Amino acid sequence: MIKMWLLLALCFALTGCDEQPNLITLEQVKDSFDREGIPLIPAPDLAPKSIFRMTLSGVAPEGFAVNGDQLVSVYILNSAKEVEKAVQQFENKTAAASVVDHERYEVGSVLIFYNAEGAFKDKRVTQAVDRLRGLSG
């Protein structure tokens, strides 16, 4: 009986170690925003020197425009741990800087910055991120 429990515990431990994290793709991010009626328009020339364009954890973000001139930077990383490292790098690099108003979203293996300068912040961005949270769970 004890051998059976040990074998069962070993099976659970091995399958737990084999689980791969649910990685979110850029296509899933785009689809989530599209479903909320806020398409991500590729914008390589929008705010090219913005701090939200810096490489973090070895990954350069994809830059998109929403509402004409608001920047959404999407980092597709390999894991949630890499997202944590990227956030720490961002905080370290900007600690002494005066960072413009922005929103930061961490969802599974994705880090998103929404740079909504001015008074208008589109609530649909948060709704799109919430939709992504459903994918990462």
Domain-located, residue 115 = yes
Q: What's the structural domain count of the chain?
A: 1
Contact 29, 115 (CB under 8 A): no
Q: How far apart are CA 118 and CA 120, in angstroms?
A: 6
Residue 63: inside a domain: yes
Instruction: Decide if 117 contacts 70 (C-beta within 8 A).
Output: yes
Residue 6 lies in a domain: no
For residues 79-106, give the mean pLDDT. Answer: 90
Residue 8 in any domain: the answer is no
Instruction: Tell which phi-psi region holds residue 97, choosing left (phi > 0), alpha (psi between -120 and 50) or beta.
Output: beta
CB atoms within 10 A of CB 127: 16
| Residue 26 within a domain | yes
Residue 10 domain flag: no
- Express each pLDDT in 39-88 by its tens digit: 999 998 888 888 999 999 999 999 999 988 899 999 999 999 999 999 99
pTM above 0.85, yes or no: no
Q: What is the pLDDT of residues 13-39, one digit of tens each?
A: 544 443 445 689 999 999 999 999 999
Domain ranges, residue 100 = 21-136
Q: For residue 85, tell me if it sits in a domain.
A: yes
Is residue 1 one of the residues assigned to a domain? no
Angle, nearest 10°, between helix axes 123-136 and 26-35? 130
